[in-house]
Amino acid sequence: MFRNILVPVDFTLKNEAALSTALDLARKAEGSVPTDPVKVTLLHVIETIEHVEFEEMADFYRGLETRAAAKLYGLEERCKEGLVPVYHDIVCGKRAETIVRYAEEREVDLIVLSSHQVDRDHPALSVGAISYRIAIVARCPVLLVK
């Protein structure tokens, strides 16, 4: 059963389904092994600007981090009613690569991501989607929620 669940969030409405699914899975897993607690981590990745030194944009990134933290605290508070420990983290980097690396470093059991509907007439257009790239590269299971 999954004990360490990661939910990357970008604060769009489509994240609601992924978050709800992750919390449901965590609640179901919580009772299965009482000595091994389940946790859900909300992760927000601040996309860095390519070819610009981080230090040049440090004030800009700090502002984004402050706004993201406020939103994450709000999500975390909403989730506390579910009785599953919910944490959050904010990191900077390229979204797909950073999420995969974060999951590996923290031994995440499952990544729950929101995903958009694939256009059946043009499925190749979805290959560049962040959720698709994470699902292909991640070493742990990935659940895409539409």
**CATH numbers and ranges of domains, the chain:** 4-145 (3.40.50.620)
Output the pTM of the full model. Answer: 0.89
- Total Cβ atoms within 10 A of residue 82: 17
Q: What was the pLDDT predicted at 29?
A: 81
Q: Which residues pair with 43 in a beta bridge?
A: 8, 89
Kindly report which listed range (47-61, 73-87, 95-109) carries the lowest average pLDDT score: 73-87
In terms of C-beta density within 10 A (0-12 exposed, 13-18 middle, 19 or more buried), how is residue 124 classed?
exposed
Q: What was the pLDDT predicted at 129?
A: 81
Q: pLDDT, tens digit, for every residue of 78-92?
A: 887 667 889 999 999
The rounded Cα 3 to chain-centroid distance in angstroms is 15
Q: Which residue has the higher pLDDT, 36 or 69?
A: 69
Q: What was the pLDDT predicted at 120?
A: 64
